[in-house]
Structure 1
Amino acid sequence: MPHRSRALTLAGPAEGEIIERKSRFLALLHPVRSIEDADALVREARSAHPDARHHCTALVISEATTGAGPVQRSSDDGEPSGTAGMPMLQALLHADLTDTLAVVVRWFGGVKLGAGGLVRAYTAAIEDALDGAALCERVERCEMALDVPFTDVGLAENAVRQWADRQGGVVGETTYTPQGARLTLQIAPELAHDLSQDVAAWSQGRLTPHEMGRRIIDVPLSR
């Protein structure tokens, strides 16, 4: 998987599996929103596969999600130190993933792999799961509002939707007040000036959009 300089997260759970010298490695990837969510999923994996020798884990949670500092942690679960959890964590970080739990369940096949073999196997299991995973890009969006009089609602809605279609914005529902209507849309922060210029052009300078705030959203990533 090529390296990306974007913040990505899983759209849903994903699995991958490899066999290395008779040992079976089952990789389970989950999107998570807290350490508590991750811990519950680890317990679930142990319960679902009690016959496995190891249930190794790696966890990445962003600062935006925790509301405090970012979380990065891993567990070798009985494998030699540094041969399982850390390679799994590095695979997640290399893929620019956040808010993600990885569990690799290993059934020992009777042949020792050595430290290097374990590192390669646990990394390959994560990469196999990522190859089939649906991903989202985590992006910042401005919440923009445009207040218009009743006489301009039709013109404004049409102009805003055309602009959003060209620029990749998302138009929200129109709400009404005694004074007129409010149109809302989510756009990339760097496009706020372009939106203001476009609105000024078609409204002949009578209307100006304003920013209501910013939020982080997940946008499905096409492969």
Structure 2
Amino acid sequence: MLVLDKIISDRGSKYAVSGAPCSSEAEARALIEALRSRKRFAKATHHSWAYVTKDGPAKNDDGEAGAGMVIVRMLERAEMFDHLVVVTRWYGGKNLGGDRFRHVQDAVRLYLDHRAKEAG
């Protein structure tokens, strides 16, 4: 699993983005469990995730209402199928309002850009 840690910081909240090939919910849950088993990630507040297969999308907001759908839309636009993306947030004590959606988008964009550079 590719992990890009400490990529965004805002008002005490910290973000990371991770991802790996994935084509089923069982695979997604196993990958997320492996991520959560890392000491730093075990302490995170949210692990919002999504993937898109030929059967459609699967997502989980993990308490960040709407974050999963943001990830789904970005994966669909990038035509990145059968690939799990997880945006992790460590809550910093202050509400971010709508900025949290921008941070989820920025995190996914960083991940997609990194994958494109690796492939190209």
Task: Please indicate the TM-score interval, normalised by the length of the shorter structure.
Answer: 0.7 to 0.9
Task: Name 1:104's counterpart in structure 2.
Answer: 87
Q: Which amino acid aligns with 1:86?
A: M
SS at match of 1:52: coil
Given the alignment, which residue of 107, 112, 128 partners 2:110?
A: 128
Task: Name 1:54's counterpart in structure 2.
Answer: 46
SS at match of 2:86: strand
Q: Which amino acid aligns with 2:59?
A: S
SS at match of 1:132: helix
Trace 1:61-72 onto structure 2 (pairs within 5 A): 61-62=53-54, 70-72=55-57
Give the number of the structure whose alpha-carbon radius of gyration is greater. Answer: 1
Structure 1 pair 77–92 and aligned structure 2 pair: CA distance change class (3 A): same
**Where does structure 2 lack aligned partners over 5 or more consecutive residues?**
none
Q: Residue deviations 1:55-96, cap 9 Å, x none?
A: 11111122xxxxxxx1301111012x21x1111111111111
Q: TM-score, normalised by structure 1?
A: 0.48
List structure 1 segments (4+ residues) > 4 angstroms apart after TM superposition. Answer: none
Q: TM-score, normalised by structure 2?
A: 0.85
- Alignment RMSD: 1.9
SS at match of 1:123: helix
Contact 1:60 1:71 in 2 (8 A): yes
Q: Residue deviations 1:125-180, cap 9 Å, x none?
A: 11111111147xxxxxxxxxxxxxxxxxxxxxxxxxxxxxxxxxxxxxxxxxxxxx
Task: Name 1:23's counterpart in structure 2.
Answer: 13
The structure richer in helix per residue is 2
